[in-house]
Amino acid sequence: MTATPALCRHCGRRPATRSRGLCWWCYYQPGVRDLYPSTSPFGRRSFGNVNRSAPLPASPTIAPPGSSEKVRVLMERARSGCSLWHPRDAVFCPGV
């Protein structure tokens, strides 16, 4: 018994043979590919700064990584559209 191939997420008529669950025709139609997120486990999935286009936050934070304060800062940065990380943010220093 063979499995039935999944149908295209866009047109629903042809077998999905390209990434993002699209058929060959829909995958190469201008703009269609951008409508569907990557289904790959290796696809980039994060807030902001995927292409390093988000602006840096106004200032670094001294909150240690993993702290509730750092999580609050990251949530605020994501909400405001800034990069989540500032080059001078506090780093984890074990034993300090």
**Of 40, 45, 74, which is closest to residue 60 (Cα–Cα)?**
74
Where residue 66 falls (left for φ over 0; alpha for ψ -120 to 50; beta otherwise) is left
Render pLDDT for 35-80 as a digit per residue (tens, 0 to 9).
Answer: 988 777 666 555 544 555 688 899 999 999 989 999 999 999 989 8
Render pLDDT for 3-32 as a digit per residue (tens, 0 to 9).
Answer: 777 999 999 999 999 888 899 999 999 999
pLDDT at 93: 75
Single pTM value for the model: 0.46
